[in-house]
Amino acid sequence: MFRFLLTRKKTDCYPEFVSMYDLIVIGAGIGGYPAAIRGAQLGAKVLIVEKAEVGGTCLNRGCIPTKALKATSEMLDGLHRLGEFGLSGRVEVSVDMNKIVQRKNRIVDELVKGVHFLLRSQGVTLKSGAVTFLSKNKVRITSRGGASETAESKGFIIATGSSPAGLPGVEPDGSRILTSDQILDIDTLPKRLIIIGSGVIGTEMAFIFRSLGVDVTLLEMMPRPLPSEEEEISRLISRSFKKVGIKLKTQVRVARIDIRDDVSVYLDNNEVVNADRVLVAVGRKINTGELGLGALGIKLGKQHEIMVDPFFNTGIDNIYACGDVIGGMMLAHVAYKEGITAAANLLGSEKRSINYRAIPYAIYSSPEAASVGLTEGKARDMGFEVRTGVFPYRALGKARAYSETDGVVKVVVDGDTQKVLGMHVVGPHATDAIAQGAMAIQNDLTVRSLSDTVAAHPTYAEAVMEAAEDVFSRAIHQPRIMTKEQSGGN
Ligand code: FAD
Ligand code: NAD
């Protein structure tokens, strides 16, 4: 087992000439920077190297900028419903994409500056450049200008993430054909947008741009949108697409694209769809190409992801990896947890893994969808004696008050032990409500922990408490099915 004595005590200062680090983290995304900070907290002398922007995809081109745009689109959705809330009069709204992007950039800048500050405050050294391994203890760092230097370390964590995947014959030009990175910085809204791929990115972008007034067409090669999600979630999202006017074509592949006045997308069923711009959202490719891992004997999987053991070790005793670069659940909170766990495993005496069954998944559609743990079907397939409880948002006081009644919470429980196996929420604030399910599964709690914990009133959390009660048919705000006589003959 790899163990080393840490060079640094928390309060030590280092003279510049000491170039040997305890830990070099490669990539300063949401996997890398927490790993570097945890390393420093554990007393290691840490260098983090980033070839582009600190904060990586999540802060600069992913979670945060998309949610900043989503916030604008939701504000606009709200304005269309003023009458429902007893407000009348004329509100003149024009969509200024430049200002929307400026707001997004301000939010990103503040968060990126925050990460720079955190790294500095923990004594982590930051260098700019692309890293390539020269040996298991030595890397070359090449700056954008081409200058290079070497650095040595006892241990490494690779956190180089992923980038937008392409489609053969469809070359993003940043103007008419865009990646998910590029669409976040457009200065004018297209009238018509085609999105190739209705996975998570395609779906989230479709709702954002539709709310901003764009005519959106989604093209998906599989039979349903969000094909890697539960069928029920796909069905509910398809219904929402229809409701807001997002056009969806499934089981179609792009044959070729012509760019003239319009962008014409020719499909394999001989249909042609025209738009002003096209977004390609067909998945991610793993960033392992320039690391020089082959010479070290680090194994890569089919998608070029780094193969690691449950403790995030690559098979080379002093080299660990975390985040999108190891494939699996390519999510920010997963990268974060893997990063701090990998740092502790590399530097500490105890090895830990992660309970992926307790990782929540959130889709920022309209309404939101979120899940954690097993679905009812999966739990049955695994042989559990399943019991479920369901509670609709429309029975919640808060949902009524805010006119947000389109949603449902479902809990999946092992009938033998009463342990919570899964939770699934579709509806406003689903991405927050799911935290209760993650807490229950992570801590192996029974469904009674959900029904016995009193939720404040009025909140959406009450739906979780009531869904848990519904497992025993005891939800207070769920009517019993009445006989004709009981219902007064109606
Ligand atoms: P990254 O964030 O990709 O960071 C890797 C860093 O390594 C990059 O900064 C890169 O420049 C650097 N790097 C690469 N190669 C080298 C090298 N050789 N030398 C030095 N540096 C290098 N996830 C969620 O959980 N919730 C969301 O709402 C969400 N929304 C998303 C929306 C979009 C549009 C996208 C694209 C992704 C979204 N994700 C979301 C996914 C999430 O962003 C990623 O899972 C997460 O950023 C992965 O973090 P990471 O640190 O592993 O990799
Ligand atoms: P994805 O794998 O979720 O979806 C890609 C979609 O494109 C799939 O539905 C696929 O069938 C379709 N597709 C592939 N090739 C196609 C073709 N030739 N023609 C038509 N359709 C095609 O990938 P993504 O949407 O790019 O997202 C990448 C990752 O980013 C996700 O896996 C997710 O982990 C992460 N992400 C997470 C969130 C979130 O947590 N809210 C948000 C955005 C992204």
Q: Residue 388 falls within a domain, yes or no?
A: yes
Of 57, 111, 341, which is best to mutate to test ligand 1, by the most ligand atoms within 8 angstroms of its C-beta? 57
CA 324 to ligand 1 centroid distance, Å:
7
Tell me which amino acid residue 92 is. E
Same domain, 157 and 57: yes
CA distance 240 to 208: 13
Decide whether any atom of ligand 2 lies within 6 Å of the 283 Cβ. yes
Decide whether any atom of ligand 2 lies within 6 Å of the 197 Cβ. yes
Ligand 2: atom nearest CA of 324 is: 34
Whats the size of the chain, residue-wise? 490
Q: Burial code of 412-443, b = ≥16 C-beta within 10 A, e = fewer?
A: bbbeeeebbbbbbbbbbbbbebbbbbbbbbbe
The residue among 99, 78, 261, 254 whose CA lies nearest residue 189 is: 99
- 97 membership: H or E segment, kind and range: helix 97-121
Same domain, 36 and 145: yes
CATH of the domain at 431: 3.30.390.30
Out of 320, 337, 354, a domain closes at: 354
What pLDDT is recorded for position 479? Answer: 85
Q: Specify the 3-state DSSP secondary structure of 423.
A: strand
Out of 282, 305, 338, a domain closes at: 282
Q: Residue 170 falls within a domain, yes or no?
A: no
Cα dihedral across residues 179, 184, 185, 186: positive or negative: positive
Of 33, 63, 319, 365, which is best to mutate to test ligand 1, by the most ligand atoms within 8 angstroms of its C-beta? 63
* β-strand pairing of 162-164 with 46-50: unpaired
Ligand 1: atom nearest CA of 160 is: 7
Same domain, 153 and 100: yes
Out of 310, 337, 354, a domain closes at: 354
CA distance 230 to 220: 16
Which ligand is nearest the CA of 139, by number? 1
Q: Residue 34 falls within a domain, yes or no?
A: yes
Q: Residue 489 falls within a domain, yes or no?
A: no
Same domain, 272 and 292: no
- The number of beta carbons lying within 10 Å of the beta carbon of residue 37 is 23
Alpha helices, H only, 245-359: 332-347
* Catalytic residue list contains 304: no
Same domain, 133 and 103: yes
Which ligand is nearest the CA of 321, by number? 1
What pLDDT is recorded for position 19? Answer: 66
CA 165 to ligand 2 centroid distance, Å:
9
Same domain, 151 and 297: yes
CA distance 443 to 162: 31
CA 408 to ligand 1 centroid distance, Å:
31
| DSSP classification of residue 269 | T
Same domain, 215 and 269: yes
Of 178, 268, 282, which is best to mutate to test ligand 2, by the most ligand atoms within 8 angstroms of its C-beta? 282
Q: Residue 9 falls within a domain, yes or no?
A: no
What pLDDT is recorded for position 86? Answer: 97
Decide whether any atom of ligand 2 lies within 6 Å of the 358 Cβ. no
Q: Are 45 and 7 in contact (CB under 8 A)?
A: yes
User: Peptide bond before 367: cis, by omega within 30 degrees of 0?
Assistant: yes
CA 155 to ligand 1 centroid distance, Å:
22
Q: How many CA atoms lie within 13 A of 4 on its CB side?
A: 20
Of 181, 200, 222, 426, which is best to mutate to test ligand 2, by the most ligand atoms within 8 angstroms of its C-beta? 200
Q: Residue 477 falls within a domain, yes or no?
A: no
* pLDDT tens per residue across all 490 residues of the chain: 455 556 655 444 443 344 699 999 999 999 999 999 999 999 999 999 999 999 999 999 999 999 999 999 999 999 999 999 999 988 889 999 999 999 999 999 999 999 999 999 999 999 999 999 999 999 999 999 999 999 999 999 999 999 999 999 899 999 999 999 999 999 999 999 999 999 999 999 999 999 999 999 999 999 999 998 878 889 989 999 999 999 999 999 999 999 999 999 999 999 999 999 999 999 999 999 999 999 999 999 999 999 999 999 999 999 999 999 999 999 999 999 999 999 999 998 889 999 999 999 999 999 999 999 999 999 999 999 999 999 999 999 999 999 999 999 999 999 999 999 999 999 999 999 999 999 999 999 999 999 999 999 999 999 999 999 999 999 999 887 777 776 666 5
CA distance 30 to 46: 16
Same domain, 277 and 327: no
Tokens of 453: 């914990």
16 Cβ neighbours under 8 A, 6+ residues apart? none
Same domain, 147 and 292: yes
Tokens of 104: 């997004």
CA 360 to ligand 1 centroid distance, Å:
18
Q: Residue 312 falls within a domain, yes or no?
A: yes
Q: Residue 169 falls within a domain, yes or no?
A: no
The residue whose CA is least distant from atom 23 of ligand 2 is 283
Number of domains in the chain: 3
Same domain, 141 and 42: yes
Given the residues 116, 304, 457, 477, select the one marked as catalytic: 457
Q: Are 203 and 225 in contact (CB under 8 A)?
A: yes
Q: How many CA atoms lie within 13 A of 3 on its CB side?
A: 5
Same domain, 297 and 275: no
The residue whose CA is least distant from atom 2 of ligand 2 is 283
Same domain, 409 and 427: yes
CA 203 to ligand 2 centroid distance, Å:
9
CA distance 217 to 238: 13
* β-strand pairing of 130-135 with 138-142: antiparallel
Decide whether any atom of ligand 2 lies within 6 Å of the 330 Cβ. yes
Q: Are 139 and 132 in contact (CB under 8 A)?
A: yes
CATH of the domain at 83: 3.50.50.60
- The number of beta carbons lying within 10 Å of the beta carbon of residue 174 is 12
What is the model's pTM? 0.95
Q: Are 308 and 334 in contact (CB under 8 A)?
A: no
What pLDDT is recorded for position 169? Answer: 87
- 68 membership: H or E segment, kind and range: helix 63-79
What pLDDT is recorded for position 211? Answer: 97
Place of tokens 């985040």: 323
User: Which burial class, exposed, middle or buried, applies to 314 when counting CB atoms under 10 A from its CB (0-12, 13-18, 19+)?
Assistant: buried
Decide whether any atom of ligand 2 lies within 6 Å of the 170 Cβ. no
Residue 44 lies in domain:
18-163+286-354
* Cα of 328 vs its chain's centroid, Å: 12
